[in-house]
Structure 1
Amino acid sequence: MQRRQFMSALAATGLIGAGVRPLHAQAKLEKTKIAIAVGGKNLFYYLPLTIAERLGYFKQEGLEVEISDFAGGSKALQALLGGSADVVSGAYEHTIALQAKNQYIRAFVLQGRAPQIVFAVSNKTMPNYKSLADLKGKKIGVTAPGSSTNIMANFVLAKAGIKPNEVAFVGVGASSGALAALRSGNIDAMVNLDPVITMLERDKEVRIVSDTRTLKETQAVFGGNMPAGCLYSTDSFIQKNPNTTQALANAMVHALRWLQTAGPSELIKTVPESYLLGDRALYLDAWSRVKEAISPDGLIPADGPATALRTLQAFDETVRGKQIDLSKTFTNEFAKKADAKYK
């Protein structure tokens, strides 16, 4: 009865006719069932996605999300291009690399403002390592060929004058498989993320060559801010489903806000037990090293796209010399609205 009286009062003032909806109303979603592909869901790189899923933030936005986990980001991208995924939680650089091939995808909410990727050399197979030149002809483990870890490896090697075809890249995934590959001696170096890297560091199994777990380290490696994990999709999906895209951005920004204030015990209780790799203390130690890399607001930094383009041009012949319109690789429109909602 009270609600009817309230609505009648609104009608009497003319507000409803003017297009003002009650505060709890939500724009109708064009699509409620969404398939998201990710490569290495257990990594901190993708932690905001897990938080949004585990805390029910997607459901709060009216979405029914199914997340498929692949061995690496390049595999997740293939799922999008093949039509089995609507959206990817993956590296921003893929939006540039695809535009160079006349395919357009766009990032619409940022998860990480630093890549968190670490290049490390095995102390087992390369105990006498002195410089990157020693890696010529060696096997380097990446999450998956063509993934963001592969991109980082190529960039670091290029700065030392080493071409991609002068090493052998091996896909090792982002969890126990990566650890096994290095410990068995099947690879000589690894480019991976936490918590894998912190575990290897603790056991003194690797030597760090290049580190992008903090903003300062990222800027030292790439020469500027480097956008990392994000949600991206095809231009056609975003154009056809603006309300659904906004709902996805809302859920992710909600998760980013939670991560800014969550305590260690809250984090441990929220993530799946398998993420901890059997060591809660180590997981929290790794989290303390990468927490700064999590975006606080979902916005892609102004200089970030140009940094990513320079990075790819340093070694990728398919990007070098191509006219890339960076404005078509991302939009902050949805993240800005989500920020306003969750301030």
Structure 2
Amino acid sequence: MTELNRRQLLQLACLSALGGHLLPATAQDKPERARLTLAVGGKAGFYYLPLTIAEQLGFFKAEGLSLEIRDFDGGSQALKAALAGAADVVSGAYEHTIGLQARGLSYQAFVLQGRAPQIAMGVSLKTLPHYRHLTDLRGRRIGVSAPGSSTNLVANLVLARAGIRPHEVQFVGVGTSAGALRAFRTGEIDALSNIDPVLTVLEKAGEIRIVSDTRTLKGTKDVFGGPMPAACLYAPQAFIERHPATCQALANGVVHALKWLQTAGPSDIIKAVPEAYMMGDRGLYLAAFNKVRDALAIDGLMPEAGPATALRSMALVDELVRADRIDLARTYTNTFAQRAKLKFRA
């Protein structure tokens, strides 16, 4: 046995111990569920780029999975699909697992796609040409991907800084692509909290003034006060316990995509991403990608301080979330991502 094999066996043994009662399958085990449905809200956005890459480049297929990916206007709608039994797994915001636990439901994130929310908020230079301060948004219509989504959470946090309560504005669900652009440009909304490439399109056209930006790690810290985990794959804890090999295969696909994205060049991105996601402008799409590249997860692991940041933020905007009643250890596991990291380390 080589020294490398000894180290790998030792690492796997440690991971098994860390997993407690939940012992994920090894890389050789076949998924218990080869066919399953995954719900996502706004798949064309960079927020979910690792999911798109894993799908388009066949990384999920290579793990023995056949996925039906159902795309919704926002993360809250994708979550509703899972709650209704229409999806097995959700690709959505980590903080949803906290909100679900506060409502007596046990969902767990098992691989991270983004280490920053990649959400920016801006005001319309058309309907608010004389904007000076966030208080100017009181009584205005603010576009979000869908009510209850992460874009809504960010908007609430930004507004709270100015003493504006959620009921003092009107949130409008506009999606994350053409619908968001249309609502903004027609004056249906006065401000927008959304993801790229939509924001970059509006910035390039000189139609929006950005007032808050979590597309970078620094901007994320400014808004949330610490690292804020974003997109992840999450599922009911019961599903994860019954289908560990399936969850491992999903985690492997995402971590493979994250590794690919670390070295992908412009031409690689253009070839891998569906043309429809680029909104008719490849150059602009690549410019937007460069803005958010740092926000993508590196290895699928949840950052140590991330869950606590998410809990503090949720407690500010969701009256059902009480920090003293949430067990963060039950909202995520790093065990699957650790195994996937070992598989794709070379």
Tell me the TM-score normalised to structure 1 length.
Answer: 0.92
Map 1:1-343 to 2 at 5 A.
26-320=28-322, 323-343=325-345
User: For the residues of structure 2 that align with 1:320 and 1:189, how far apart are their CA atoms?
Assistant: 30
| Alpha-carbon distance between aligned partners in 1 of 2:163 and 2:95, rounded to the nearest angstrom | 22
Please tell me whether the aligned partners of residues 40 and 72 of structure 2 are also in contact (alpha carbons under 8 angstroms).
yes
For 1:216 and 1:183, how far apart are their aligned partners in 2? 29
1:107-151 CA-partner distances (Å, limit 9, x unpaired) = 000000000000100000001111111111100000000011001
Amino acid at match of 2:246: T
Whether the 8 Å CA contact 1:51–1:271 is kept in 2: the answer is yes
Find runs of 4+ consecutive structure 1 residues off by over 4 angstroms.
Answer: none
CA deviations on 1:34-53 (whole Å, 9 max, x unpaired) are: 10000000000000000000
Cα distance in 1, alignment partners of residues 323 and 69 from structure 2: 36
Please state how far the C-alpha of 1:28 moved relative to its aligned partner: 2.7
In structure 2, the CA distance between the partners of 1:88 and 1:25, relative to structure 1 (3 Å rule), is closer
Compute the displacement of 1:26 (Å).
1.6
Paired letter, 2:61 = K
Range 25-34 or range 220-229, more displaced? 25-34
> Which residue number in structure 2 is paired with residue 14 of structure 1?
none
Residue identity over aligned pairs, in percent, reads 62
Q: Name stretches of at least 5 consecutive residues in structure 2 with no aligned partner.
A: 1-25
Letter in 2 for 1:263: G
Task: Tell me how many residue pairs correspond in the alignment.
Answer: 320
Could you tell me whether the CA contact under 8 Å between 1:163 and 1:315 is conserved in 2?
no
Task: Pick the structure with greater CA Rg.
Answer: 1
Give unmatched runs, 5+ long, in structure 1. Answer: 1-23
Instruction: Please list the CA deviations of residues 207-244 of structure 1 after superposition, one character each: whole Å capped at 9, or x if unmatched.
Output: 01100011111111111000000000000100000011
Change (3 A) 1:182 1:92: same
Listed one character per residue, the Cα deviations across residues 223-268 of structure 1 (whole Å, up to 9, x for unaligned) are 1000000000000100000011000000000000000000000100
When the two structures are superposed, what TM-score results if normalisation uses the length of structure 2? 0.91
